[in-house]
């Protein structure tokens, strides 16, 4: 049975504006979360390459519980579908997240692919970039799945200088994985795979001089119609 706090519960100091509020003070953090119960293309700056057979599609799956966005590439090697959150209906990236010392941050996502070692996936926060496979993001904190191996890597990048954490395992075929990180606002990232603390990374290239956008994308590593199915994506930062 849950504990019932009938008089409320709060994270605010007693003598502040929200000190007598009966719920949490949501202004302490800002963030974005999408569970993909619905999908609107105009919510994203979408960049697609369709050199092979067919066309890319983006639809909410009707055979998955909880809302899943299914992204299917066209059939050419190098064909891709890249997404960045938009602030104006699909033209401009919503670069709204800024890493800083003394400001904690969190990111979490859950996704799968039909062929985990034949796709390259970028997912996390990074600077505006329409082709992150061929032109690596100059700034960001994100995860990358590498084609040919399926290896999952955590990357912190500032001005094209990267700090990486490998050893996060490989992406299987048609098997959901959740990836996440917690930035402690001091010097360390705590990296989670399937909600298990798997690695820590000492920050050496904190991207604290560029605003970043919620981003994800998938590129074929072979001539086939590969997919990315994303269950949810979320990012939060301390104000």
**For residue 5, what pLDDT is reported?**
87
Q: Does any domain span residue 91?
A: yes
**For residue 37, what pLDDT is reported?**
97
Q: In this structure, what are the phi and psi dihedrals at residue 42, rounded to the nearest 5 degrees?
A: -75, -5
Instruction: Enter the tokens of residue 175.
Output: 């098997």
Residue where the block lists tokens 């798997």: 198
Q: Does any domain span residue 10?
A: no
* d(C-alpha 236, C-alpha 110), whole Å: 16
Question: Which residues contact residue 75 at a Cβ distance below 8 angstroms, ignoring those fewer than 6 apart?
Answer: 52, 53, 54, 220, 223, 224, 225
Query: Which parts of the chain sit beneath pLDDT 70?
Result: none
Q: Does any domain span residue 15?
A: no
pTM here?
0.95
Nearest Cα to Cα of residue 39 among 235, 231, 210, 177: 231
* CATH number of the domain to which 164 belongs: 2.60.120.200
Q: Is the dihedral of CA 73, 40, 143, 136 positive or negative?
A: positive
Give me the domain span that covers residue 165.
35-238
- Measured in residues, the chain has a length of 239
Helix (H, G, I), strand (E, B) or coil at 189: strand
**For residue 122, what pLDDT is reported?**
98
Q: Does any domain span residue 104?
A: yes
Q: Does any domain span residue 25?
A: no
Total domain count, the chain: 1
* d(C-alpha 179, C-alpha 80), whole Å: 21
Q: Does any domain span residue 30?
A: no
């Amino acid at each position: 049975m849950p504990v019932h706090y009938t008089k409320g519960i709060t994270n605010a100091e007693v003598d502040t504006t929200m000190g007598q509020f009966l719920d949490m003070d949501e202004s302490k953090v800002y963030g974005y979360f999408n569970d993909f119960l619905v999908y609107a293309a105009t919510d994203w700056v979408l960049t697609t390459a369709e050199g092979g057979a067919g066309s890319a599609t983006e639809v909410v799956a009707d055979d998955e519980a909880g809302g899943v966005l299914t992204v299917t590439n066209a059939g050419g090697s190098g064909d891709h579908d890249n997404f960045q959150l938009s602030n104006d209906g699909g033209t401009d990236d919503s670069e709204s997240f800024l890493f800083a010392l003394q400001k904690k941050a969190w990111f979490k996502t859950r996704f799968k692919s039909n062929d985990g070692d034949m796709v390259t996936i970028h997912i996390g926060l990074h600077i505006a970039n329409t082709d992150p496979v061929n032109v690596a993001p100059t700034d960001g904190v994100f995860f990358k799945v590498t084609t040919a191996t399926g290896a999952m890597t955590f990357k912190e990048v500032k001005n094209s200088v990267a700090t990486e954490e490998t050893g996060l395992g490989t992406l299987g075929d048609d098997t959901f994985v959740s990836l996440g990180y917690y930035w402690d606002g001091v010097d360390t990232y705590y990296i989670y795979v399937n909600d298990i603390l798997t690695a820590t990374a000492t920050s050496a290239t904190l991207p604290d001089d560029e605003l970043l956008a919620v981003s994800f994308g998938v590129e074929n590593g072979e001539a086939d119609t590969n997919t990315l199915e994303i269950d949810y994506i979320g990012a939060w930062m301390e104000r």
